[in-house]
């Protein structure tokens, strides 16, 4: 509500300062025209660097995603290691205790 109350003052003072700054903006226009080639050169250099670095960044991102998946996989499976150890021990005891069968050919 306060914004709506001060809106007329913002409009009036915004227009007043815009009109006061207009001559300075018109004086700065030739200098900004001199800067345009340098801005375009900067854009071209950044585009070339991005084009060269893009494959390396994509490879690094793929490796990072693979490592993250492996980490999540192990983080989910590590709590099951005690259960797997107990199952292995039972299997080993059953294998040792069971009699060997002779295979007839």
What digits encode the pLDDT tens for the residues 11-48? 999 999 999 999 998 998 888 889 999 999 999 999 99
Give the distance, in angstroms, between the CA of residue 100 and the centroid of all CA atoms in the same chain: 58
Reported as a pLDDT band with limits 50, 70 and 90, residue 105 is low
Element holding 81 (H helix, E strand)? helix 81-97
Instruction: Determine, yes or no, domain membership for 1.
Output: no
What digits encode the pLDDT tens for the residues 56-91? 999 999 999 999 999 999 999 999 999 999 999 999
Instruction: Determine, yes or no, domain membership for 40.
Output: yes
Which residues form the domain of 85?
7-97
For the chain, the domain total comes to 1
pLDDT of amino acid 3:
86
Give the distance, in angstroms, between the CA of residue 14 and the centroid of all CA atoms in the same chain: 39
- Looking at the whole model, is its pTM more than 0.75? no
């Amino acid at each position: 509500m306060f914004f709506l109350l001060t809106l007329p003052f913002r409009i009036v003072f915004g227009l007043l300062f815009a009109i006061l700054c207009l001559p300075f903006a018109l004086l700065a226009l030739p200098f900004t025209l001199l800067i345009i080639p340098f801005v375009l050169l900067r854009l071209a250099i950044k585009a070339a660097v991005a084009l060269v670095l893009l494959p390396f960044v994509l490879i690094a991102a793929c490796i990072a995603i693979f490592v993250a998946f492996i980490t999540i996989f192990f983080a989910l499976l590590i709590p099951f290691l005690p259960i797997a150890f107990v199952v292995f021990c039972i299997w080993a005891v059953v294998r040792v205790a069971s009699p060997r069968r002779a295979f007839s050919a």
